Amino acid sequence: MKEQGTVITRDADTATVRIEKSEACSKCCSCENARARIITVTVDKAAGVNVGDIVEIEVSPSTMLKTYCFIYLFPLMLFAAGSLSVYAFLKDPLKSFAAGCACAMIYYVIIGRYIKKKKCFDGKVSINKVPGE
């Protein structure tokens, strides 16, 4: 995934980039659900860029896959495991559904705190200054 944006703040080795959602973003149901037209991204290892520069941010496919797994796949697996485990013992669909929901919610709380603490996932995100801009 490649997107262009403008550097709005710059610290020692990080830059915050403002990206306006493009047409390519509308094809991804994850981005489409975000109501904001403007997204801000903090990128580490942003040497060589200054405030006001037009840059291109590229997120590797492996980082995108990892992110999708964290957001969609793992909670679904935990929901299924929690539901099936409780149903195997209690044979009550309502309690098994509640247990599956609880497992997914606990996961989201834990991963939410992790993201807030680390500010992002460890992934391959590169930032390059757009020539001629």
| Global pTM value | 0.64
Domain count within the chain: 1
3-class DSSP state of 4: strand
Beta bridge partner(s), residue 16: 9, 42
Could you give the CA distance from residue 96 to residue 80 in angstroms, rounded to a whole number?
A: 9
Give mean pLDDT, residues 93-101: 96
SS3 label, residue 6: strand
pLDDT in tens, 34-83: 556 777 777 777 777 878 888 887 777 888 888 889 889 999 999 999 99
Domain of 56, in residue numbers: 2-129
Q: From its phi and psi, is residue 72 left (phi > 0), alpha (psi between -120 and 50) or beta? A: alpha
